[in-house]
Amino acid sequence: MKLINKKNRKMKDQKSNEKLEEELQENKEKYRSFFDNILLSSQSLDKDGCFREVNPAWLKTLGYSKDEVIGKWFGEFLHPNWKTHFKKSFSAFKKRGYVNDMQFKIRHKNGHYLDISFEGSIGYKSDGSFNQTYCVFHDITKQKQAEETIKHINIVLRTISSVNQLIVVEKNRDELIRKVCEILIKNHAYANAWIVLLGKDGEYLTSTEAGLGKRFLPLKKMLVEGTLPDCGRKTLKKKDMVIIEKPHEECPDCPLSKGYAEYGGYTICLKHGSEIYGLLTVSVPLLFIDDKTEQNLFWESGQDIGFALNSIEIEEKHRNSESKLLLKNNNVL
């Protein structure tokens, strides 16, 4: 009887184990189906932050193949500025066991970066030790761009307001253009700015810059010698604003065109009516270069500066006329 009971228990335990294995396999298949078919970009990392799994949505969002990702450290795919931050955040993640809204910039295979926010939790083994992380991330690039654009436009508005206030009080031509350039970069509205003033026949009169320092010297030499960079020639020909999205390709002859991978440029005529007084160029982050609101604000500011230069010219002519008249009267007396 004991042998029969023992045999029955053994068979029962075997069936129980088989059932557990079947349920475990079924759960694995369900997880795999869910992981592969979920529309959110999903990933699994080991304790060192290296990829164990990524789902098709993840691969589609970032353009990689599975072989290019599995086994690689997650930080390798981040913007260089975010790698150290990821190490600290991932350590905190493992201690807490979960994470919400961890934000990074991750590199797409084509080279551009996406802003992502991911959330996840830790998967543990039966003995309670770390197994792997389970994370999903959301592409928040458009949201971030919208936030950054609003922030940037507010800075541009304050900057243009400061330029307009300067125009009212500054009556010295050279001081006006110098201070305009300084204002344009003061709040990081633009990376740098330069102005060249031209005579009636397009000859060089003077120039100034802000944010460039010694880098401006080769360009100034060109200007003094009577040569304008491509952006300047195009702007004078068009008599309107010219937008340069790829300075290193579109302005190969300009000494400033190299080293601005993340910047483009705006160049406008400083004019009043049909009278052109010079050119103003600024370096604009590529993220904002196509923004029509900013383009309009910058163009209007150029018109205001042109008006101020015209007013200064008229005032100077008026003073010269008065001086000549006074001199003439003194000679008569």
pLDDT in tens, 1-37: 555 555 555 555 555 555 545 544 444 444 455 455 5
Nearest to 109 by CA among 146, 72, 147: 72
Q: Residues 242, 150: one domain?
A: yes
Q: Residues 132, 161: one domain?
A: no
Nearest to 312 by CA among 209, 166, 159: 166
Which CATH number fits the domain that encloses residue 269? 3.30.450.40
Q: Residues 158, 289: one domain?
A: yes
Helices (H), the chain: 2-37, 56-62, 83-96, 141-169, 173-186, 217-224, 230-238, 247-250, 292-332
Whole-number pLDDT of residue 27:
47
Domain that holds residue 110: 24-139
Whole-number pLDDT of residue 93:
87
Residue finishing a domain among 139, 159, 175: 139
Residue spans of the chain under pLDDT 50:
20, 23-31, 34
6 lies in a domain? no
Domain count, the chain: 2
Q: Residues 185, 49: one domain?
A: no
**pTM (2 decimals)?**
0.73
Residue finishing a domain among 87, 113, 139: 139
Whole-number pLDDT of residue 183:
97
Task: For the beta carbon of residue 314, count every other beta carbon within 10 angstroms.
Answer: 11
8 lies in a domain? no
With 0-12 / 13-18 / 19 or more C-beta atoms within 10 angstroms meaning exposed / middle / buried, residue 309 is: buried
Q: Residues 164, 296: one domain?
A: yes
Residue finishing a domain among 115, 139, 163: 139
18 lies in a domain? no
* 233-246 pLDDT tens trace: 999 998 889 999 98
Q: Residues 313, 164: one domain?
A: yes
Q: Residues 130, 247: one domain?
A: no
Distance CA 75, CA 191 (A): 29
5 lies in a domain? no
Whole-number pLDDT of residue 219:
95
